[in-house]
A and B are shown apart, each in its own frame.
Chain A
Amino acid sequence: MEKTEKSTSLPLKSRIRMDQTATRTSGDPSRTASIGRFREAALAAAFIAPALLLFGIFLFYPLIQSVYLSLHSTNPRGQVANFVGLTNFRNLFKSPGFPNSLMVTFQFILLTVPASLAFALTFAAICRSRIRGMKLFRFIFALPIAVSVSTGSIMWMVLFHPTVGTLNYLLEQLGLTPVQWLTDPHTALLSVSLMTIWMNVGFLFILLLGGMQGIPDELYESAKIDGSGPIRTFWRLTLPLVSPTLFFASVTSIIGAFQAFGQINILTKGGPVNSTNVLVFKLYEDAFVNFRFGVGSAQALVLFAIVLLITIIQFVVVERKVHYQ
């Protein structure tokens, strides 16, 4: 009671004080107030200016510049040669390379995103259940977040290695035939996906665990009293309540999968026979290996359009079904 009284009385006090200072300084309170508001706006401008300037130079301007570049052909120095209209886009979809990249990217998403989310969700549910040694498990499950894409790729390169690789050795021990992990066009994307899932799990786990820790303990207590088993509790309680986080995690990991580059560049270079040539790798090759900046920009814009579309679809469709507290 006392507390609420205090907090409601504060603005009043401040109003009195403000009026006092206002009369003291100029005698016209409305003028002082407008000066104060102007100063506040100026301060706000100064406060958001650095971030806004950086966004302008390194995000908004490039977006416009990409549109400009995509409508032109460029020389290898990156200078615009001549206006070609939509030719770059038309060529993209006419040549086999780009549709293939799109397909590979979609396959890559299907292979990595659901599996990563399922693993991360399971790990987070385990850690939420407060078993003994939970802290240790939490650290272990979070470990891959500390692994960069290049470090992770080389770690897995050794595992995938055809002769000294441990994975094939283990397969042989189980009586299975060894797999040409990275050199067979049928398995290369799967291998890269396996490594990517392993890498993604750390971040997604941390994200989902954070979401689960926001669920009040009382809910679990009452579920227990109602005789709900751990699996039922997971489906009926944990999953609906963690769905906002899960929703965010799925958006970020789909967008992240669209941006995959490092593991492809190190493990397969897009091969064998373009079976792992994902969008960003193709963009990189076109723009920075073959120096076709116009074509590269056209691809960047297609990538942007897809990511934008997915974000919008996810927000519109999924948001309605997501359970917010």
Chain B
Amino acid sequence: MKRQHLTRLPAYLLSIAAAVFILFPFWITFSNALMTEAESAAYPPKLWPTGLHLDNFSGVLAVIPIARFITNSFVVSSLITLGCLVTSCMAAYAFAFLRFPGKKIFFALFLSTMMIPWEVAIIPNYLTVRSWGWLDSYAGLTVPFLATAFGVFLMRQFFLQLPKELLEAARIDGCGHVRIFLRLAVPLSIPGLATLGVYSFLNHWNMYLWPLLVTSSEQMRTVQIGVSMLQFSEMTAWNLVMAGLLLVLLPSLIMLALGLSRLVGGLTAGALKG
């Protein structure tokens, strides 16, 4: 018993050191968000706020339309996530259960899209979206991202793990593929959908370069672009900046807390066995 404690001591020390490294920037953000302007600009820097100055939050909301940015990001991420789930499930079902000519070639084609970094396509995509008049619109922000090869592989993996007997039985009962897809495959793959959903939502919530290119009006800015406005606007009151950051962080943190166990293991499944 005693020996076990001894061997675990280094593990604890290591975890605590690691946790400090990870948490420190969060703590600075959090504590600054609750400070007065004078406190946040003081030298030496303060690690604790003297009180809870919650008016920072209303202060930053008055300067920058963060609510609007958050709404935009929410709409964009949700649309993309929903679209991704639909296109991924459909394609995954075809690759998992349907027989069709050229299946291997199409599968290789889908696989090859994973090797094209998005940045390579960004200039032509910008020109395309501009020529369609989609700059500064939800369409321009979402449509290019509605399908991902990663999602297809992840969902295919889940479909292949479904019990074969069940699908066989459905076929015997005269179920067509469309019904099997809608009534069996998709509902039984909720864990997979959740993994892909959380991953896709977080990923697109955090998108930076594309929204920077295709939005120009304040009305259409997403949170990530809006947040950098905090620091470029005249006020460099760090307490307000940090209060803004905290507001932006909150949705993703909640999402992570709810979906963490889905992400662990789920991502590995799609990444390796696909």
Q: Show the binding face of A for B, using Cβ within 8 Å.
A: 6-7, 10-11, 13-14, 17, 37, 40-41, 43-48, 50-52, 54-55, 57-63, 65-66, 69, 78, 119, 122-123, 126, 129, 131, 137-159, 161, 163-166, 169, 198, 201, 206-207, 209-211, 213-214, 229-230, 244-245, 248, 252, 255, 258-259, 261-262, 265-266, 280, 283-284, 287-288, 293, 296-297, 300-301, 303-304, 307-308, 311
Contact = CB atoms under 8 A, between A and B. Distances in A.
A119 B224 contact: no
A150 to B, nearest CB: 4
A308 B115 contact: yes
A210 B19 CA distance: 19
Contact of A17 (B28, B44, B87, B172): B172
Contacts of A151: 224, 227, 245, 248-249
Given A51-B147, A141-B22, A158-B238, A37 B260 contact: no
Interface string B83-108: 00011101101110011110100100
Interface residues of B, number: 105
Contacts of B109: 52, 55
A111 B3 CA distance: 38
Contacts of A255: 117
Contact of A41 (B15, B101, B124): B101
A53 to B, nearest CB: 8
Contact of A304 (B117, B223, B271): B117
A295 to B, nearest CB: 10
Interface string B215-250: 000000001110110110000001001100100110
Contacts of A210: 263-269
Nearest to A139: B260
A303 B23 contact: no
B142 to A, nearest CB: 11
Interface in B56-96: 86-88, 90-91, 93-95
Given A150-B208, A158-B29, A210-B265, 17 more contacts: A10-B172, A13-B172, A40-B98, A58-B144, A61-B128, A62-B120, A142-B263, A151-B224, A151-B249, A154-B230, A157-B231, A164-B41, A164-B238, A166-B24, A210-B263, A252-B271, A266-B231
